[in-house]
Structure formats: C-alpha cells, structure tokens
Amino acid sequence: MVSSLGVSRGLVVVVCAPSGAGKTSICKKLVSECADVVFSISATTRSPRGVEKHGQEYFFMSKEEFSRASSAGEFLEQSFVFGNFYGTPKASVERYIECGMDVVLDVDCDGARQISSAYPSDSVTIYIFPPSIEELANRLVSRNENSADEIERRLKDAELCVANLSLFDYIVVNDNLQKAYEDVKSIIRAEKLKTSRRELSSY
C-alpha cells in the first residue's frame, strides 16, 4: 500500500497594512510569480482613481448596489473606511479555494478578524508594517495621491492598528520590498506544509 499526501483546499491569505506600507506591491508580485495564487478583487463604493478599471483593481458599485449585495449575504467581509464601503465577494473566494488555489485578500484589521472567524482552518493573517510611522508618512507624502487631511487620517489609522497586531498570525516589516515579499512567500509555503492542511490517501 502506498500513501500520498495532497492538499484538498486552497489557503485564504489575508494581507493587511496601512496605506504606503507596500502591501499592494507585495500582493501583485505574489500573483504574478506564483501560478497557484490569485488575488481577490474587492467591491467598493469609492470612485476609481487614475487608470483604475472596474473588475481589475475593484468592482466599483453605487451605495445602493453595495447595500443590496450586502443584504443578500454576498460579502465574506465588509467595512466602512474613509467614507466608503468595501467588501470581499464570497462566491469567488469559495470557488478558488475549492479548486486548491490560494487567494490573497487585501483587507483592513476588522476584515481580517471577520475572515479568520469565517475560515478558522483555511486562513492565515499577515500584517505588513513599514520600519516606522515616520517612514510611512514620508511614503504617503511622496506618493502625492492624498490630501494632508487624508494622510493624517491614514497615519492615525495605522497607529490604531498597532493595538490590534495580536490579531495576526505573522508580522512582516517592509524595510526592503524584495525581502518582505520573500518573507510573505515563505509564510504561505510553510502554512501549506502544515500537517493539518494535508490529506493522507492510500492506494
């Protein structure tokens, strides 16, 4: 009799970080370089920025559309951030992990809590943090995408998230983008190798 080890379901990879910490760059690199990793596109009521397109960066919805979808239970998690609603479509995440694909989710701290509760055995939560709040402020200013008031709000939000770090399984400090990316990739690889995520079959 020969035994084989397999992974029946994909992993829900929850990545959370303050704006400017490098989360988007790390997630894009994961998806582009790892054939079994996909990115979950969130729905939002905010307006597109720059060259953002519906169905690529986000599913852009009116508040009425978002409310209808929420009432129908179509979101895995949802939040209200800086005056806009955000939500993770449940159906696509379920479809991917059932096929054995790992799904990367970009959410806030409350979203991470909701997903951990929904997928206690199939999720891993990672918080990306810059070397310091001062460095985060420098990154936000250099991006030249937000007003001074919005930058201030984002910095206060980042400080509040520090109080919730115990919620996360791992913390990655991004003082070097490539190293931070490799750290995140190593976390996913290690989580996939856990005995609890393996199925033993005999034939």
- Known binding residues for ATP: 17-24
38: phi then psi, degrees, rounded to nearest 5: -125, 160
Cα-to-chain-centroid distance, residue 85: 16
Q: Which amino acid is at 17?
A: A
Q: 150-174 burial by CB neighbour count: b if 16+ within 10 A, else e?
A: ebebbbeebeebeeeeebbebebeb
Write out the two tokens for 27.
């997630």
Give the helix ranges, DSSP H, for 104-192.
Answer: 109-118, 133-143, 148-162, 177-192
Residue 130: DSSP 8-state: -
Q: How far is CA 1 from CA 7, 76, 176, 198, in A?
A: 20, 41, 48, 19
CB half-sphere exposure, 19, CA atoms < 13 A? 18
Residues making up the binding site: 17-24
| Ramachandran class of 125: left when φ > 0, alpha when ψ lies in -120 to 50, beta otherwise | beta
